[in-house]
Amino acid sequence: MSEHAAPRNGGPAAPGAREHAAKSVTAVRAGFVGLGQMGEPMARRLLGRDGGLVVCDVRPEAVRPFAEAGARTGADPAAVAAAADVILVMVRDDAQVREVVAAMLPAAARGTVIAIHSTIADGTAEELAARAGPYGVEIADAPVSGGFMGAHEGNLAVMLGASEAAAERCRAVFGAWAGLIVRVGPPGAGTRAKLARNLLQFVAFAAAFEAQRLAEAAGVHLRDLARVVRHSDAVTGGPGAIMIRDTTAPAPEGDPLRDILLHTRALAEKDLSLALDLAADLDVDVPLARISRARFARDLGVPHP
């Protein structure tokens, strides 16, 4: 395994110095900072890979099992940065991400990629990318979706905001725990995609609560309803099934999807109207259903004339 020959602190490379970009993909050295509920199962899937693994966490009890399994340990993020080519960061929030990255930049060799998996503000990712530039370090804005279940199963989705070169280096490491890696643009774009994805998730949760209130008032057993929802969503794809267009603009005449959208509009407006009638009869407040009924045609891309 080659030593880092590039100087620290973003200075000019010494004659004959080799940067990380010259390293074989299979020999990329991985680092992981933050071994919590998500980070621990992600990092565990990196054990035993070519290039090795170095880990760090403020809790010694989180680091100990990795050391016993053969991983190197770093006393702090700077130690990880000095020993890794691609460093994965899964800490709590923007403040912790800034603190960790600030500690790593002076210790990282030119060509290092720092991949941030924490959900942060998109402006933070852009800020850190600009701060890392003079060091010759790249920031990959790489939030994940799939929860701790996906982390344990090695089937997370990654929304990757990074340069093409940094994205390629990340794929060599992310593939150990990701089932889908989508480069969505430069740093900041990954977080913007994650926020949109989470908006869908939690608004859908709110809609599920509203549907449960209506079902409960109507005398439907909630566990029976839940079984039907999970089964049919597994077949149809759930809310994601409607995400089939490249734009949210109205679908013009001649659009090959227009007939499908018109059919969907008719079904939705009929069923939402029936649900609203039932809610009125049972005196159940369903604000999301009212909003959906009012906006569905426009949002679907086939507004009424």
Length of the chain: 305
For the record, the structure tokens of 59 come out as: 């809790």
DSSP string, 261-301: HHHHHHHHHHHHHHHHHHHHHHT---HHHHHHHHHHHHHHT
Which residues face 114 on adjacent strands?
A: 87, 139
| Pairing mode, strands 86-89 and 53-56 | unpaired
Catalytic residue among 194, 214, 279, 292: 194
Residue 232 to residue 236: CA distance in whole angstroms: 6
- Active site (annotated) includes residue 270: no
Name the one residue in this structure whose structure tokens are 């566990």.
223
Q: Which of 111, 129, 112 has its CA nearest to residue 120?
A: 129
Rg (CA), the chain: 24
Residue 147 to residue 121: CA distance in whole angstroms: 19
Contact indicator for 6, 109 with CB cutoff of 8 Å: yes
Number of other residues whose CB lies within 10 A of the CB of residue 209: 10
For the record, the structure tokens of 251 come out as: 């679908």
Q: Which of 91, 75, 78 has its CA nearest to residue 39?
A: 91
Name the one residue in this structure whose structure tokens are 């990757």.
160
Which residues face 183 on adjacent strands?
A: 160
Active site residues: 194
